[in-house]
Amino acid sequence: MIPIPASILAIENESDRDFMENIFFSYQRLIYHEIGSILNDPWSKDDIFQTVIVQLINNIDTLRPMPAKVLTSYIATSARNARCNFSCSLLRALSSSATADTAVTSKMLWSWLYRSR
The predicted-structure confidence for 55-94, as pLDDT tens digits, reads as follows 999 999 999 999 999 999 999 999 999 988 887 787 777 6
Beta-carbon contacts of residue 76 (< 8 Å; ≥ 6 apart): 30, 31, 34
Give the span between the Cα atoms of 8 and 5, in whole angstroms: 6
Residues contacting residue 47 through CB under 8 Å, at least 6 positions apart: 86
Are the beta carbons of 72 and 27 closer than 8 angstroms? yes
Residue type for 80, please? R
The pLDDT tens digits of the residues spanning 6-63 come to: 999 999 999 999 999 999 999 999 999 999 877 778 888 899 999 999 999 999 999 9
How far apart are alpha carbons 63 and 18 in whole angstroms?
Answer: 13
What is the pLDDT at residue 42?
84
pLDDT in the model for residue 102: 55
